[in-house]
Amino acid sequence: SVTLRYFCYGCLFTSVTWSVLLFLYFNLSEESRSFYRNVPIKGLQSQGFQHRFQPRFTRGPGPQYRDGGQNRKGQKPDLSPEMGMIFNEHDQEVRDMGYHKHAFNVLISNRLGYHRDLPDTRNEKCKERTYPLALPTASVVICFFNEAFSALLRTVHSVLDRTPAYLLHEIILVDDNSDLTDLKEDLDTYLQNNLRGKVKLVRNEKREGLIRGRMIGASHATGEVLVFLDSHCEVNEEWLQPLLTPIKKNRRTVVCPVIDIISADTLVYSPSPIVRGGFNWGLHFKWDPVPMSELNSPDGAVAPIRSPTMAGGLFAMDRSYFNELGQYDSGMDIWGGENLEISFRIWMCGGQLLIIPCSRVGHIFRKRRPYGSPGGQDTMAHNSLRLAHVWMDDYKEQYFALRPELRNREFGDIGERVALRQRLQCRSFKWYLDNIYPEMQVSSPNNKPQQPVFVNKGLRRPRVLQRGRLRNLLADKCLVAQGRPSQKGGAVVVRDCDSRDPEQEWTYDEEHELILAGLLCLDMSEIRSSDPPRLMKCHGSGGSQQWTLGKSNRLYQVSVGQCLAVVDPFSHKGYVAMAICDGSPSQQWQLEG
Ligand code: LR7
Ligand code: MN
């Protein structure tokens, strides 16, 4: 329900650097590569081109997916848009199965391996900050269900690589009864061979869901602070110290990093704007702009920000305070609602919830959740009902006004949670709204929805790099809309070129979009990569609308990993399709002015 929109600010310079790095890698000694050899990881072993992308297993010497160590300000990391290129059927299968099972590009995730450098997305002022040396130790708890192996391992290694050892008490992995057998075996092998020591694995006998899963993880933890992460994250430079510092100062402080965006289609890591957590009366979490009144500290953009709610997945909390405050509601199942429940509880029962702008952790934002609940129940509704009945007093009516069908729905026994609220002598929901979330409108039904936080693409047009007709060199025809280009979109075909026809004019911009007649973007279906490309409204978030115009005249589609080809160059039908990039004449295109 949360849509993050963001710009691709210039992946332009990246491909050059990338090629240089690959070149260097090939020319490095056999010795540094033999490092990978005897590690049997299923599904990651492959021949041909792919051996270049085999993961690194420890942070030893040798090449890595580095950005040159410079992290030039405001730039994307050097991740080539062609990282997802498909070379054979095996690649295609990894990609398609990956989208099916995990809803992100697992092919790229595997190629990235378990370590990569990230752009340092912090404000410059953060880099000058210092933190006390004596800080509480952390137990990092990562609960997962059927996670893609490489994403899980990158989460773990990013923590090991970017956390001072003396602060990292342990990492606790909770396998929530995953049923992907490969994942189980691979993880066992990998943990035995590589991660003995700081990483512990707990397996749930049955599927518990992320809420009880985290409680189980926390019950095994012995560090002073609990840090929860989703299983597809990458922590950034100096992420932990700024989280631990405010907890050390006041143990009733719960802190969240800024959650940076890892694209599900390209795995590119980019900064998030500084926003804070809110919610709507449907009890969905949402991001809000930070009100001016909350920004007026002398430290401006880098001081902690009070947040009415948290997104849920990424936060740190004193372990004894977590227990004292009632952990989570163990009557909540699988997914949803626990984030608002713990947020309300923190504020109403004497704690505070802060977002720490100097701590950055990336998270893969997927467009759909790739799993359901075991019995197909709507666990979000079940969990929300529980939290509404325990914490929201009369304001639960706001929820029922939107979801009348839930008014009489069973939600199980909440006796213990009500008793907890009494025992902790928590304040009223009205107090919370008045003092912590005054922006929240208590509806009269005709209130306008609040402005979206993420900037609308239409407000800022990316710079045009090239303009002209898009001619296929073999067919000697140009790519056009099949009918008249309209707001609705539609198919594309090749037809005789006509230099005076404005409806044949494409623009190629710095965001790697191809826009026809200033109107619609060339777009690929992400679910069905076998479908031909089409024209769609521009969405501005790369992926399915991101193309590169290569040196060899190929037109490469970033999220699909294939090239645009004419199907039968001499047929009048003019059909086009995506195909494995092979440099053949049917795949050669020129954008000519
Ligand atoms: O049955 C399950 N068992 C699990 O162990 C279901 C899920 N999980 C694991 C899963 O593998 C993952 O590691 O739990 C974690 C979270 O599940 P996601 O990644 O499917 O959730 P999400 O990122 O879509 O949803 C957000 O809201 C959830 C509400 O229950 C949780 O609080 C997630 O942690 C939370 N994620 C974040 O806050 C990251 C930033 C997203 C935003 C905004
Ligand atoms: Mn997640």
Q: Quote the CA–CA distance of 581 and 134 in Å, as a whole number.
A: 54
Ligand 1 pocket test target in 230, 280, 284 with most atoms within 8 Å of CB: 230
What pLDDT was estimated at residue 489? 73
Tokens of residue 20, six digits: 């240089």
Which DSSP state fits 517? T
Ligand 1 contacts (CB < 6 A) are 2, 143-145, 147, 176, 207, 209-210, 213, 230-231, 259, 311-314, 334-336, 338-339, 363, 369
Among candidates 517, 507, 516, 509, which has minimal Cα distance to 463?
509
CATH number of 458-592: 2.80.10.50
Tokens of residue 268, six digits: 């590119």
Tokens of residue 470, six digits: 């898009």
Shortest-distance Cα residue to atom 24 of ligand 1? 369
How many angstroms is it from 299 CA to the middle of ligand 2? 30
Q: Quote the CA–CA distance of 495 and 306 in Å, as a whole number.
A: 58
Q: In terms of DSSP H, where are the helices of 392-440?
A: 396-402, 415-423, 429-435
What pLDDT was estimated at residue 293? 87
R_g over Cα of the chain: 25
Q: Low-confidence residues of the chain, pLDDT below 50?
A: 1-13, 15-16, 19-76, 447-458
* Ligand in nearest proximity to the CA of 142: 1
Q: Which residue is associated with the tokens 């044949």?
A: 504
Q: Quote the CA–CA distance of 34 and 521 in Å, as a whole number.
A: 44
Query: Nearest-5° angle of CA 379, CA 230, CA 188?
Result: 105
A 10 A CB-CB count for 267 gives 26
Shortest-distance Cα residue to atom 36 of ligand 1? 313
What pLDDT was estimated at residue 48? 29
Task: Give whole-number Cα distances, 173 to 44, 87, 135, 386, in Å.
Answer: 21, 34, 23, 27
Q: Under a CB-based contact definition with an 8 Å cutoff, are residues 524 and 560 in contact?
A: yes
A 10 A CB-CB count for 103 gives 19
Q: Quote the CA–CA distance of 417 and 408 in Å, as a whole number.
A: 20
How many angstroms is it from 561 CA to the middle of ligand 1? 27
Tell me which H or E stretch contains 277: strand 275-279
Q: In terms of DSSP H, where are the helices of 366-413?
A: 379-391, 396-402
How many angstroms is it from 496 CA to the middle of ligand 2? 47
What pLDDT was estimated at residue 81? 85
Structural fold of domain 124-435:
Spore Coat Polysaccharide Biosynthesis Protein SpsA; Chain A (3.90.550)
- Long-range CB pairs of 290-296, under 8 A, 24+ apart, other chains included: 291/439
Half-sphere exposure (Cβ direction) of 560: Cα atoms closer than 13 Å? 28
Q: Quote the CA–CA distance of 559 and 462 in Å, as a whole number.
A: 20
- 3-class SS at 463? coil
Q: Tell me, yes or no, if the pTM score tops 0.90.
A: no
Greatest Cα pair distance in the chain: 79
User: Domain extents for the chain?
Assistant: 124-435, 458-592
Task: Give whole-number Cα distances, 230 to 189, 363, 447, 556, in Å.
Answer: 22, 8, 35, 32
How many residues comprise the chain? 593
Q: Under a CB-based contact definition with an 8 Å cutoff, are residues 505 and 513 in contact?
A: no
Tokens of residue 485, six digits: 């280009």
Which DSSP state fits 588? B
Q: Under a CB-based contact definition with an 8 Å cutoff, are residues 177 and 146 in contact?
A: no
Q: Quote the CA–CA distance of 524 and 547 in Å, as a whole number.
A: 10
What pLDDT was estimated at residue 235? 98
Q: Which residue is associated with the tokens 């041909």?
A: 48
Shortest-distance Cα residue to atom 39 of ligand 1? 313
Among candidates 137, 313, 283, 309, which has minimal Cα distance to 213?
313
ipTM: 0.99
Q: Under a CB-based contact definition with an 8 Å cutoff, are residues 77 and 12 in contact?
A: no
What pLDDT was estimated at residue 540? 85
A 10 A CB-CB count for 428 gives 14
Q: Which residue is associated with the tokens 């922006």?
A: 439
How many angstroms is it from 335 CA to the middle of ligand 1? 7
Q: Under a CB-based contact definition with an 8 Å cutoff, are residues 488 and 568 in contact?
A: no
How many angstroms is it from 233 CA to the middle of ligand 2? 8
